[in-house]
Amino acid sequence: MGRTIVVVGGVAGGASCAARLRRLDESARIVVLERGEHVAFASCGLPYFISGEIEEGHKLMVTTPERFTRRFGIDVRIRHEAITIDRQRKSVQVVDHQSGQTYALSYDKLVLSPGAAPLRPGLPGAGDERIFTLRTIDDAERIRAYIESNDPHTAVVVGGGFIGLEMTESLAHLGLHVTLIELTDQVMTSLDLEMAEWIHQHLRMNGIELMLGQGVEQFAVSGDGSLLVSTSYGNRVNCDLAILAMGVKPEAELARQAGLRLGPLGGIRVNEHLQTNDPDIYAIGDAIEVQDGILGVPRRIPLANLANRQGRLAADHICGKEISYANAYGTSVIRVFDLTVASTGVNEKHLAAEGVPYRKSYTHPASHAGYYPGAVPMVMKLLFAPDTGRIFGGQIVGIDGVDKRIDVLATAIQMGATVSDLARLELAYAPPFGTAKDAINIAGYVASNVLEGDLEIAHAEEVECWLAKGAFLLDVRTVGEFHRGHLDGAVNIPIDEIRSRLTELPVNKTLVVYCLTGIRSYFVCRLLRQHGYRALNLSGGYMIYCAMYPNRCDGIPGLHRWKRALALETFCSTPEERSVVRRNTK
Ligand code: FAD
């Protein structure tokens, strides 16, 4: 028998690491210690098990301890918890929760993949048995059993991150009336606020009561026996069950007690080989801090894709391969009812907070060719360097085709690509799947136009400032669109009348031009520029303006409602094309 490698934690990172270790080293003794009952299960599927979309719990088990042992010759010890590490002796103290006995286990190399635990702040009344958190299969089974035996009608979900949104959708899917309470002014903080506004609107459209900008202050039992949730705004919500999804905390205590260094965010600090400050101890997954690939600052990114890759890389390094895990980008995707919401890289809030100069552009490309049935728009935000055009981050909200676009963006960012590279990319195309100029190319064209000075843009938040400086606000949509809602102070000249009405435009003023999405206004800006005007295109058009200032626009219409208008605007120049799109977007 060769050296002994002990892995603490047997789920995403730990199981991935142990299996890779065996593939690289047949002679090693590999021991996996797992505190819980299961190894290698799909935490990410838990919300869909609760909703019933995944009917049987066993489908979430990627493998069982027995199969893991049989297939890989790995010593898997469930209900065994590592309680201390003696770095001098290179040994782990373990408690066997089945027998209650403790024992010492020596290692040559130790891998820590203990994950992160749901935050459960000590709010008054939070001990009520109808209040749940979700991390393990047992948690999911408890929630499902509670729902099956108590037939609840109402639920409160606390926290609008990944798990909170997935649980909101799952409970609504089961027919519960759900209130989602979020402390900040938006759900999904990996996105910027105006992009999250589509999620807010979509949640409300699906009957979710959304309470933003307020924290839960206490739980109590109301007169009728239901759970009473009070918020910092003084709101009180009665419900039959509550889910706490307020974030996670790295399980770093074992590491801390062993004198391993933690980072500023409370996660275990590792180098590019995923080693802690003790070179014989590696750490991976939700418990560690990673370096942000754009900003270079420490970040905690509790996602399964990172944990799995880190598990493999740590095994590679233990087995003598050269690896470098320098950066992470937080690429993520989530379904929220009909929406797909995805992001990669860094968002505008973080760039601004770190004082990094950036530019941004918005586009509303179609998921696939508009003349092919089922085309729907998406909202895409791109952030990039003002000098080189290097892509810093991307955010996409849409109904279809979002996942593949975010993965192209994620790949591009990780390769250090610029917005001009996006414009040049050759991507697959056929009408059911995309457009001849793919959504990614379009984002690249628009950003490159901005960067190369072919197009000057203004952003929604700058409009008032431009008006104060005497700018002329020009709406180039149809008269009907204009009357349904427009920016204060705008003058309407529909795009097709611009050439004949040029004399109505002031030559000595800056023109801020907008339409629904920024496409028609782009054409107009190019035209005006060639006639000697200074014309700025409102990036993302009226749609982004409304997302930024929903109160000034009576909220933002959903992408579903806008899909016909967008399709018409985006694809049609002839009446025949318009009638095809009308038929396809009924
Ligand atoms: P875990 O998978 O949590 O495994 C850690 C294990 O270590 C635990 O089983 C724990 O019992 C064990 N352990 C801890 N301390 C000890 C000890 N001292 N001794 C022995 N064992 C110990 N990520 C995505 O990318 N996409 C998604 O869609 C997604 N959805 C999610 C949905 C839910 C409901 C949850 C809970 C998570 C989701 N995630 C998702 C996150 C993803 O599951 C985690 O990022 C990933 O599981 C982290 O892997 P890990 O190995 O670091 O920790």
Q: Each residue's pLDDT tens digit in the chain (586 positions)?
A: 789 999 999 999 999 999 999 999 999 999 999 999 999 999 999 999 999 999 988 899 888 899 999 999 999 999 999 999 999 999 999 999 999 999 999 999 999 999 999 999 889 999 999 999 999 999 999 999 999 999 999 999 999 999 999 999 999 999 999 999 999 999 999 999 999 999 999 999 899 999 999 999 999 999 999 999 999 999 999 999 999 999 999 999 999 999 999 999 999 999 999 999 999 999 999 999 999 999 999 999 999 999 999 999 999 999 999 999 989 999 999 999 999 999 999 999 999 999 999 999 999 999 999 889 989 889 999 999 999 999 999 999 999 999 999 999 999 999 999 999 999 999 999 999 999 999 999 999 999 999 999 999 999 999 999 999 999 999 999 998 999 899 999 999 999 999 999 999 999 999 999 999 999 999 999 999 999 999 999 999 999 999 999 888 866 655 545 545 544 444 344 555 555 555 554 4
Instruction: Give pLDDT, residue 484.
Output: 87
Kindly state the DSSP code that residue 377 receives in the 8-state scheme. B
Which residue's CA is the nearest one to ligand 1's atom 53?
115
Q: Does 43 sit in the ligand 1 pocket, CB within 6 Å?
A: yes
Which residue's CA is the nearest one to ligand 1's atom 38?
A: 44
Query: Sign of torsion, CA 275 280 284 288?
Result: negative
Measured in Å, residue 355 CA sits from the centre of ligand 1 at: 33
553 is catalytic: no
> What pLDDT is recorded for position 57?
83
Do residues 211 and 219 lie in contact, with contact meaning Cβ atoms separated by under 8 Å?
no
Ligand 1: residue of 79, 162, 305 to mutate (most ligand atoms within 8 A of CB) is: 162
Confidence at residue 552, expressed as pLDDT on a 0 to 100 scale: 85
CB 86 within 8 A of CB 182: no
Q: Which amino acid is at 86?
A: D
How far apart are the C-alpha atoms of 228 and 216, rounded to whole Å? 11
Residue 83 main-chain phi, psi, to 5 deg? -110, -30
User: What's the pLDDT score for residue 198?
Assistant: 92
Q: What are phi and psi of 406, to 5 degrees?
A: -70, -35
3-state helix, strand, coil in the chain (%, to 5): 35, 25, 40
Using CA atoms, how far apart are residues 109 and 401, in angstroms rounded to an integer? 43
CA distances from 347 to 246, 292, 330, 393, 484 (A): 21, 12, 11, 6, 32
| Closest to 337 (Cα-Cα) out of 159, 212, 165 | 165
Please indicate whether residue 286, judged by its CB atom, sits closer than 6 Å to ligand 1.
yes
The tokens for 485 are 């809602």
CA nearest 62: which of 111, 23, 16?
Answer: 16
CB 111 within 8 A of CB 6: yes
Does the beta carbon of 115 sit less than 6 angstroms from any atom of ligand 1? Answer: yes
CB-ligand 1 contact for 237 (6 Å cutoff): no
- Please state whether beta strands 80-86 and 534-538 pair in parallel, antiparallel, or not at all (unpaired): unpaired
Could you tell me the domains of the chain? 4-115+249-318 (3.50.50.60), 131-246 (3.50.50.60), 338-451 (3.50.50.60), 457-555 (3.40.250.10)
Q: pTM surpassing 0.75?
A: yes
Sign of the torsion formed by the C-alpha atoms of 410, 411, 413 and 414 = positive
Phi and psi at 100, nearest 5°, equal 80, 0
SS3 343: strand
Helix (H, G, I), strand (E, B) or coil at 393: strand
302 pocket-lining for ligand 1 (C-beta < 6 Å): yes
Q: Ligand 1 pocket test: pick from 11, 141, 301 the residue with the most ligand atoms within 8 Å of its Cβ.
A: 11
Of 44, 319, 553, 572, the active-site residue reads 44
Mapping DSSP to helix (H, G, I), strand (E, B) and coil, where does residue 513 land?
strand
Cα dihedral across residues 272, 282, 303, 544: positive or negative: negative
3-state secondary structure of 34: strand
* Beta bridge partner(s), residue 534: 510
CA distances from 129 to 145, 220, 240, 527 (A): 13, 12, 11, 65
Given this model, what pLDDT does residue 577 score? 52
Q: Is 113 in the pocket of ligand 1 (CB under 6 A)?
A: yes
Indicate which residue's Cα is closest to atom 46 of ligand 1.
304
